[in-house]
């Protein structure tokens, strides 16, 4: 069940699966100094998911990384609003229940039940209103995806990386993993970035995170990809592959 939970959390935004080949600036060398391009599909072919017609992913796939960054940040803000409204709803229901216990001595009267139901209806109405605002008709481009804030931040980082803004990308990847530890590709890229700064201990921390994800993954869809990037990062940490 734990592997299923990871898969569900990672692929929660997927109506459509798209393969994206990221052409990052990193190169590597084996110990015999023969050059290995880390942009090879075996390393850089990362499978990501997005809603059909999502403007951010469309821009990214089209190579318009400036627009993609803007749109992924819009997605992030939209996802944050949904999270806050959901939390407000939960807190509203909790406060209503506490009020019932205080005023009714822990006995649910008909009146308190009505108030509780009203709170739930109001909360559900609020959530439905949010969903309605972000829902587009099938024949139109979906402007925003208001889900999985960590993934939206990660993809903003990927856009920044493509634009040559490595420092901004690193900050985005750090934010992404602070929200969701299973953003495995963010861990991988952070590990490589830290190795380039000769921060081996920092890279090892991200390698450990990848291996922990792998232990929980079992036979999840991303397992082969996680194994591949974990092996590459391990070789880089061990000095078997030189990054430049």
Residue 229 has pLDDT above 50, yes or no: yes
Is pLDDT of 39 > 50? no
Domain count, the chain: 2
26: in domain? yes
167 with 232, same domain: the answer is: yes
Answer yes or no: do 167 and 219 share one domain.
yes
Residues 198 and 184 grouped into a single domain? yes
**Using one digit for the tens of pLDDT, what is the confidence trace for 47-86?**
344 454 689 999 999 999 999 999 999 999 999 999 898 8
Given 134, 160, 175, which residue is the final one in a domain?
A: 134
pLDDT given for residue 206 in this prediction: 97
Q: Is residue 141 part of a domain?
A: no
Boundary (domain end) residue, out of 134, 160, 178: 134
- The answer as to whether 50 is a domain residue is yes
Q: Domain check: are 172 and 228 in the same one? A: yes
Q: Are residues 95 and 197 in the same domain?
A: no
Q: For residue 228, what are the domain limits?
A: 2-76+147-243
Question: Could you tell me the pLDDT band of residue 9, with boundaries at 50, 70 and 90?
Answer: very low
Same domain for 70 and 181, yes or no, is yes
* DSSP bridge pairs for 18: 48
40 lies in the same domain as 152: yes
Claim to verify: residue 61 and residue 172 sit in the same structural domain = yes
Are residues 152 and 42 both part of a single domain?
Answer: yes
More confident residue, 54 or 122: 54
Q: Which of 5-19, 21-35, 84-98 has the lowest mean pLDDT?
A: 5-19
Based on the domain organization, do 151 and 237 belong to the same domain? yes
| pLDDT of residue 10 exceeding 70 | no
pLDDT band at 219 (very low <50, low <70, confident <90, very high): confident
Q: What is the CATH number of the domain that holds 153?
A: 1.25.40.10
pTM over 0.85: no
Amino acid 58: pLDDT: 93
In a shared domain, residues 123 and 229: no
| Per-residue pLDDT at 96 | 77
Q: Is residue 217 part of a domain?
A: yes
Tell which wins on pLDDT, 153 or 144: 153
Residue 92: partners with Cβ closer than 8 Å, 6 or more residues away: 119, 122, 123
* Residue 167 and residue 208 share a domain: yes
In a domain, 221, yes or no: yes
Domain-located, residue 59: yes
Asked, for residue 15, whether it belongs to a domain, the answer is yes
Q: Is residue 142 situated within a structural domain?
A: no
Q: How confident is the model at residue 93 (pLDDT cuts 50, 70, 90)?
A: confident
């Amino acid at each position: 069940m734990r592997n299923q939970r990871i898969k569900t959390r990672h692929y929660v935004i997927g109506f459509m699966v798209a393969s994206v080949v990221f052409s990052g600036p990193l190169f590597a060398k084996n110990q015999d100094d023969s050059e290995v391009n880390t942009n090879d599909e075996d390393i850089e072919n990362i499978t990501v998911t997005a809603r059909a017609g999502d403007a951010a992913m469309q821009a990214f796939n089209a190579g318009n990384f400036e627009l993609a960054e803007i749109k992924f940040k819009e997605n992030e803000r939209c996802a944050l609003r949904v999270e806050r409204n959901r939390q407000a709803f939960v807190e509203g229901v909790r406060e209503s229940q506490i009020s019932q216990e205080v005023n009714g001595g822990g006995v649910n009267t008909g009146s308190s039940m009505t108030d509780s139901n009203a709170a739930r209806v109001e909360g559900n109405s609020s959530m439905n209103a949010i969903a309605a605002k972000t829902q587009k008709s099938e024949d139109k481009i979906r402007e925003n995806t208001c889900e999985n804030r960590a993934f939206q931040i990660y993809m903003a980082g990927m856009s920044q990386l493509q634009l040559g803004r490595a420092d901004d990308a690193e900050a985005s990847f750090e934010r992404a993993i602070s929200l969701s530890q299973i953003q495995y590709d963010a861990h991988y890229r952070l590990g490589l970035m830290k190795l380039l700064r000769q921060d081996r201990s920092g890279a090892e921390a991200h390698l450990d995170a990848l291996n922990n994800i792998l232990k929980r993954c079992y036979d999840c869809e991303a397992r082969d990809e996680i194994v591949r990037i974990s092996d590459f990062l391990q070789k880089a940490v061990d000095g078997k592959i030189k990054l430049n």
